[in-house]
Structure formats: C-alpha cells, structure tokens
Structure 1
Amino acid sequence: MPHTELVHLPRWFTASQLQPSPTAEVHDWLFINQDSLTQRLMSLSADNFSVTPLFEGWQQLRQDECAALNVAEGSEGWVREVYLRGHGEPWVFARSVSARSALEGSGLELAQLGTRSLGELLFSDQAFDRGELQACHYPAACLPAAVQAERLWARRSCFSRGTLAILVAEVFLPAFWTATQIER
C-alpha cells in the first residue's frame, strides 16, 4: 500500500450518519446482524469457507485506526490482513489491527491464528465487548492490488477486553455480492 499521506483514508459512519443510506439488503450485512461474519459466510458458502492470510506483522497504524483505538497518531500495531473466501473466491478483505502498547502482555497471540478466523476467536471469548458498527465506501488504494475497486462497502467495529482493543474492518468484495445476488 502506498504511504498513507498519499492515500485517501476511509471515512467511517454509524448507521444513522451514513448518507445516502444503502439498500435494505446491503444495510443488513453492514449493520443489522451483530453475529460473527465468519458464521454468516460459512452458512452462505455451505461450509465451503476458508481464510487466506495476506499479511501479518508490526506496522505503523493508519490515522483513522489510531483515532478508533484511542492511541497516538503514528503508533505501531499488529496488522493482520486476510481474504475470507467462499468457494475459493475472495468474498471479503479483512484488516484487523491492535496497538502494540495494548497487545503486548495481553496474552492474546494474534500471530498464531494462521488460517483461523479472528472472528471465531473474538466471538468465542465472552470477555470481548463489541463496539458500534460503522460503514463506508472503502478507498480502492487501501485494498490489495488484486481486488482494488472503487466504492466497495466496508464495515468495522472495535472489540475490547479491558485495555486491549482490536479494530476489525471487513470490505465486501464484488464476488460476495454476486454470491448473495444482492444489488449493491
């Protein structure tokens, strides 16, 4: 990804702030269902679901991520980028981040997830509270080159447990909308 100063960053909105509002079907995927997206994708794909890690490691967090995590601009954090696939096709690009200052010493080993879904982990641990869902049209420049497209819907929420916060953003790719037969 290019240096963040050269890229338009996502501008996130709550359901009541988002104008114009998406169609009812898109709104459902962005805001209504509070369950694990992994579970919904498993159901949609008739259990033909997989996770493909693209990047995992320490990196400077983007400005919008630092603001959401309540850490200083320029903070370093753990970044995990994956494709959530249905029938082998990338349906969702997910980017999860957590500030180094909060992650170290938390006992959570994000580096050990491999091809497991982070959502699986977060929803199985009752100690995590999920914050409000937000959505936006995700900037193409913030996506992997293979799936760059304009005006793709994305959602994000922050999962917290004590001082640990994990920000999870999920971008719905064109193959997902084809699979759901929903006009976006």
Structure 2
Amino acid sequence: MSGWQCRPRGGIAPALRDWLCEPGSLTARLKRRGAFRIELLRQELRHANADECAALGIRPRTPCWVREVALYCDAQPAIFAHTVLPAAPQGVLGRWFARLGTRSLGSLLFAHPGFVRGGLAFARIDARHPLFAAAVAALGRPPAGFHARRCTHRFGRQTVLVTEVFSPRLGSR
C-alpha cells in the first residue's frame, strides 16, 4: 500500500503539522522539549516491505537491516521510527548502524556532513499499512490512524530509509 505524498494532507492539527514538516532533527527537537530517551524495539536482518523496496530502489526480498525505536519525551512515547538499510553494499553506514544501540540515528544523520537527505514524503498510517501494528505497540492506539513521514538519507553508496510515525499527542501540546 503506497499513499505517500509530497505534502501532508489537510485536516492535521497545526501543532502536529509543525512536527511533520520539521526540517531538522526530531531527536534534537524532542530533547529541547523535555526529558528524552530512546527504547530500542527491534534491530534485525529481514526483508523490507514492497513499498520500502520501491522507495529504496531495491528488489523485493533484498536482505535489509531493519531498526525500530520509540522516541520518548517526558516519559511519553512521541514518535515510532522504522529504519531500513539494505545489507549490501556494505560500508561505513552499516557499521555505524550496527553500533547505535539506544542512541539516535537522527543525531548521526544530522551531525555528519556526508549525509544527503532526500525529500520528505507524508502519509496517513492505518490498519492496512504494514507498520500500523508496530506503531500501535509503541505509541498506543490512535483514534483514527497516525500521521507519518519518511525520507532517504544517502551516505556514499549506501541509502537508508527512515519512516517516523507520530503520536497524536504531539499535536495537542
């Protein structure tokens, strides 16, 4: 299922739209807002979904490193992040990725001048989307789905796809 658009759809609370369109690091913004921590939910070698393969320009069933984390602010889950890095070609990005642990990938992506960020894409994540169940487990069940964004970050010959799913609570504060 692909519903990714180059702009967020209408009907989004202004505060949440501001988060969705944030041009900088969400990690840095959450740290400015309150007590920040990351919970590593999963990091494993597996296949990306078809939509992610298309975004990365890779063949279906290509082995990929998949990392999922929950970003917390003031003890509340704020963002579910799902990252896909094709296992080949191997390079420095793969080595960094393997050693992140509970550190933020965003702190690396926005701090190192070698990264080239692609354009943001936006979608509404509902029960039909492959990431919905994992987002619910991390953020709680939303009243009518989640708003999400994604983009690629390229470093040399390696490209990582980062999808960020936002808690509706971000739009209420």
Query: Per the alignment, do residues 19 and 115 of structure 1 end up closer, same or farther by CA in structure 2, a change over 3 Å counting?
Result: closer
Query: Per the alignment, do residues 21 and 176 of structure 1 end up closer, same or farther by CA in structure 2, a change over 3 Å counting?
Result: closer
Give 5+ residue unaligned stretches, structure 1.
Answer: 1-8
Structure 1 SS opposite 2:94: coil
RMSD over aligned CA atoms reads 1.9
Distance 1:107 1:28 in 2: 29
Distance 2:93 2:26 in 1: 24
Aligned length: 165
Structure 2 SS opposite 1:156: strand
Matched, 1:83 2:70: yes
Shift of 1:131: 0.5
**Equivalent residue number for residue 92 of structure 2:** 106
Distance 2:46 2:3 in 1: 21
Deviates more, 1:67-76 or 1:137-146: 137-146
Distance 1:101 1:79 in 2: 13
**Equivalent residue number for residue 177 of structure 1:** 171
Structure 2 SS opposite 1:68: helix
Distance 1:158 1:28 in 2: 20
Contact 2:16 2:170 in 1 (8 A): no
Shift of 1:69: 0.6
Amino acid at match of 2:92: S
Amino acid at match of 1:40: R
**Structure 1 segment 55-134 matched on structure 2, within 5 A:** 55-102=42-89, 104-106=90-92, 108-109=94-95, 110-134=97-121
Deviations 1:52-101 (A, max 9, x none): 00000101101111011110122110000000001121111000111111
Matched, 1:14 2:1: no
Given the two structures, how large is their TM-score scaled by the length of structure 1? Answer: 0.81
Contact 2:148 2:164 in 1 (8 A): yes
Contact 1:132 1:158 in 2 (8 A): yes
Amino acid at match of 1:113: L
Q: Which runs of 4+ in 1 moved over 4 A?
A: none
Distance 1:52 1:172 in 2: 15
Contact 1:153 1:172 in 2 (8 A): yes
Contact 1:10 1:138 in 2 (8 A): no
Shift of 1:44: 1.6
Given the two structures, how large is their TM-score scaled by the length of structure 2? Answer: 0.86
